[in-house]
Amino acid sequence: MAFYLNCNTHFFFKFSLLFSLLSFSFSQSDVAEAPSPAADSCNGIFLSFAYSSGTKLKPTDPTHQPYRFESVLTVLNNGDEELKSWKVSVEFQNDEFLVSASNAVLADGTSLPANVGNGTVFAGFPMSDLKTAIETAGDLTQMQVQVKLLGTQFGVAAPDVSLPKNIQLANDGFICPKASMQGKNEMQVCCRKDPKFKANVTIDEEFLPRQSGDLTIMYDVTRTYDSNYWAQVTISNHNPLGRLDNWKLSFDWMRDEFIYTMKGAYPYVVDSSDCIFGTQGQHYRDLDFANVLNCERRPTIIDLPPTKANDTTLGLIPNCCRNGTILPPSMDPSKSSSVFQMQVFKMPPDLNRSELSPPQNWKINGSLNPDYKCGPPVRVSPSQFPDPSGLPSNTTAVASWQVVCNITHPKGASPKCCVSFSSYYNDSVVPCRTCACGCPSNTARTCSTTAPAVLLPPEALLFPFENRTAMAQAWADLKHRTVPNPMPCGDNCGVSINWHVLTDYSRGWSARITIFNWDETAFPDWFAAVQMDEATRGFQKMYSFNGSALELNGVNNTIIMQGLPGLNYIVGETDGANPKKDPRVPGKQQTVVSFTKKNTPGINVAAGDGFPSKVFFNGEECALPSVLPTNNSNREGSTTILTIFLAVFVFIMLHQ
């Protein structure tokens, strides 16, 4: 009997142990699927892209047929170092439109759904760091992430499958060969550390180092509670020619957070209805949502006016409340950043003071400024701030993330300002290019979007484009030139800049710069810059602006300028003295700049050295003419231009 009991006990013990092991195995597979067998031979970062399924979609179109696709991107850390802030480049090639992606966001800050047909980079969220097998005892839930993709592709029908051209790790310091096919539906690659790469962070450091960029955004959690936290957002401009006016900042909440209150900035839309009718209202039953500022999943934040800087409710934040103006550090370092604070309420299951998650998909833009592309938030070492009590100590943030944004030039985007050229040796002005800042699509019957801009008499620059036609035709008749029919369309730019070569003599030369504002929006604290490869070394002075040479990337070829104290404001376009018959009057500023030839021997002003190769206004690069004024030795030109210079001077004095 005892033997029978011992045997049964031994049997049940083995059965229970086996059942426990099987249960553990099943629970693990529910969280992380086992990697491909090919991953066993990879001692680096293993990547795979597997096509799962697809179906034909409506509408039927033999030339551009849409198909649904489902795929899985796998990132597995088989190396000996933790992979921080993983990023994977996927070179889509079938005009893919991505609807959703689990466990990742687009690294360029684009919100889904989005067109990714030209390829994209995925960044990890919420798990951005992948640990090693060594430090986790092979726990795939910490070593691996699988991104389930759902979207639409065009043109690839069964039995073929839609796969990208290539996949590779986008983190610095890795070498990835071209991905190889594993069967018909999957491609794989093993990326290994580059032995020649020198990292500026040691293995033992907990956080990645802060990165440099044209513009950085710090998201610092300064106070945290179980259900909410306070975050300070700092926007810092690092580009010597970058600038933001009336900035608008947007991002995506990923875990149903909402903004309760703010200081130093304000939501563009104050609306709590999404909370009242959503899960937030069900959870926070005792919260007065009339005081909640914004419940949008993607809020847009704007700066406050200077009048709110000392407001006890909305202001009293250093570097806030500047109407959204962020100047370049080369112009005024004290005005090169903007700061605001916001109180963020969280939702289950994040009701823990240590559960902190920054918003994703950041985007920032201004009214007449460059376009910025922002990366994902990266966890960095906690920021430190001066103690608010004034004591000689620093206060450390609870947690900090950095978003890096760089100036980009989207394909097909039009400039927002343009340049015209003129000179003392030619009495015609080379105007801004046709449609320099874009043209409306319905202009075919009224003007030509492809015809080159016609040369103008100098006085025409003082008038809006719609008032120049008669002057342009009369000038063409006088010069025995033909004009296209229909006439070319205008430049459609809110700001135009005229660069006029004024004089050229043996020891030096001079130019005149006139800035016209054709928009109704004024430009306080404006600045402009010109790049001149041959002439900058000879720059002497500006007479009505503050001007100085600026070294960019080790090259001394840029001159930056801004208004003198009290004159750094370009007004908007206004009505003429008699609005019924007089054209509208642009805001304008003008100066003469002098150069010496002592430091630039061999400079040929008339051959093109006297004209800039790039022109910027408030950080935006302006469109240049496609041709330069010709030196036709027309001596009438200098007399005519001198007369026009006097006319411009009188015009400015009468309208100030």
Counting residues of the chain whose pLDDT is more than 90, the rounded percentage is 76
Do 422 and 403 share a structural domain? no
Look at residue 223 and tell me whether its pLDDT is greater than 60: yes
H or E stretch at 652? helix 636-654
Indicate whether 283 and 223 sit together in one domain: yes
Q: What share of the chain is helix, strand, coil (3-state, %, to 5)?
A: 15, 35, 50
Helices marked H in 114-230 — which ranges? 133-136, 140-143
Average pLDDT on 473-477 reads 93
Q: Is the pLDDT of residue 370 over 60?
A: yes
Contact 548, 616 (CB under 8 A): no
Kindly state whether residues 434 and 350 are assigned to the same domain. Answer: no
How many H-runs (helices) and E-runs (strands) does the chain carry?
Answer: 7, 38
* Cα–Cα dist 429/463, whole Å: 14
What tokens were used for 83?
């992979």
Q: Is residue 574 situated within a structural domain?
A: yes
Instruction: Using the structure block, give the residue that is written with the tokens 């079938």.
Output: 94
Q: Note whether 232 and 341 are same-domain residues.
A: yes
Q: What is the pTM of this model?
A: 0.83
For residue 30, pLDDT beyond 80: no
| Residue 209 domain flag | no
Under the banding of pLDDT at 50, 70 and 90, the label for residue 17 is very low
pLDDT band at 258 (very low <50, low <70, confident <90, very high): very high
Predicted pLDDT of residue 582? 82
Same domain, 181 and 251: no
Looking at residue 546, its pLDDT comes to: 94
Alpha helix stretches (DSSP H) within 447-546:
469-478
Q: In this structure, what DSSP letter does residue 218 have?
A: E
SS3 38: helix
Considering its fold, how many domains does the chain have in total? 3
Q: Average pLDDT for residues 211-224, to the nearest whole number?
A: 97
| Span of 28-37, 186-195, 483-492 with lowest mean pLDDT | 28-37
Average pLDDT for 443-449: 75
What's the length of the chain? 656
> Both 137 and 224 in a single domain?
no
At residue 399, the pLDDT reads 97
Residues 6+ apart with CB under 8 A from 50: 71, 72, 74, 185, 186
- Specify whether the CB–CB gap between 373 and 406 falls below 8 A: yes
d(CA 174, CA 130): 15
Instruction: Label residue 34 by pLDDT band (50, 70, 90).
Output: low
Mean pLDDT of 189-208: 78
Within a domain: 547: yes
Instruction: Find the domain containing 376 and state its range.
Output: 215-408
pLDDT at 23 over 60: no
Tokens representing 2 are 């005892």
Q: Are residues 393 and 498 in the same domain?
A: no
Q: Residue 532 above 70 pLDDT?
A: yes
pLDDT in tens, 480-511: 999 998 899 999 999 999 999 999 999 999 99
Average pLDDT estimate for 638-642 = 46
CB atoms within 10 A of CB 577: 9
Specify if 10 maps to a domain.
no
Q: Identify the pLDDT of residue 389.
A: 74
Q: Are strands 104-106 and 180-182 parallel, antiparallel or unpaired?
A: unpaired
Residues 506 and 378 in one domain: no
Q: Are residue 392 and residue 483 in the same domain, yes or no?
A: no
464 shares a domain with 594: yes
Name the pLDDT band for 15 (thresholds 50, 70, 90). very low
Q: Which residues, 6 or more positions from 601, have their beta carbon under 8 angstroms from its beta carbon?
A: none
Average pLDDT, the chain: 89
Residue 298 in any domain: the answer is: yes
Find out whether 618 and 369 touch, Cβ atoms under 8 Å. Answer: yes
CA atoms within 13 A on the CB side of 620: 27
Give the model confidence (pLDDT) of 547-595 as tens digits. Answer: 999 988 888 999 999 999 888 899 998 888 787 778 889 999 999 999 9
pLDDT computed for residue 32 by the predictor: 58
User: 343 with 261: CB under 8 angstroms?
Assistant: yes
- Residue 607 maps to a domain: yes
Neighbours of 649 (CB within 10 A): 11
- Specify if 312 maps to a domain: yes
Summarised one tens digit per residue, pLDDT across range 376-424 is 999 999 999 988 777 888 899 999 999 999 999 877 788 999 999 999 9
* Amino acid in the structure at residue 461: L
Q: Give dist(CA 421, CA 425) in Å, integer.
A: 12
3-state secondary structure 560-611: EEEECCCCCEECCCECCCCCCCCCCECEEEEEEEEEECCCCCCCCHHHHHCC
The letter for the amino acid at 578 is N
Q: What is the CATH number of the domain that holds 98?
A: 2.60.40.290
Q: For strand 495-504 and strand 417-423, is the pairing parallel, antiparallel, or unpaired?
A: parallel
Inter-residue contact 90 to 49 (CB < 8 Å): yes
SS3 of 95-108: CCEEEEECCEEECC
Q: Which value, in Å, is the radius of gyration of the alpha carbons in the chain?
A: 31
Please report the pLDDT score of residue 1 as a whole number. Answer: 44
Whether residue 620 sits in one domain with residue 493? yes
376 and 524 both lie in a single domain: no
DSSP string, 523-544: EET-EEEEE-TTTGGGEEEESS
Q: Which two tokens stand for residue 60?
A: 């039927």
In whole angstroms, what is the distance from residue 214 CA to residue 408 CA? 10
- For residue 22, tell me if it sits in a domain: no
Q: Higher model confidence: residue 201 or residue 497? A: 497
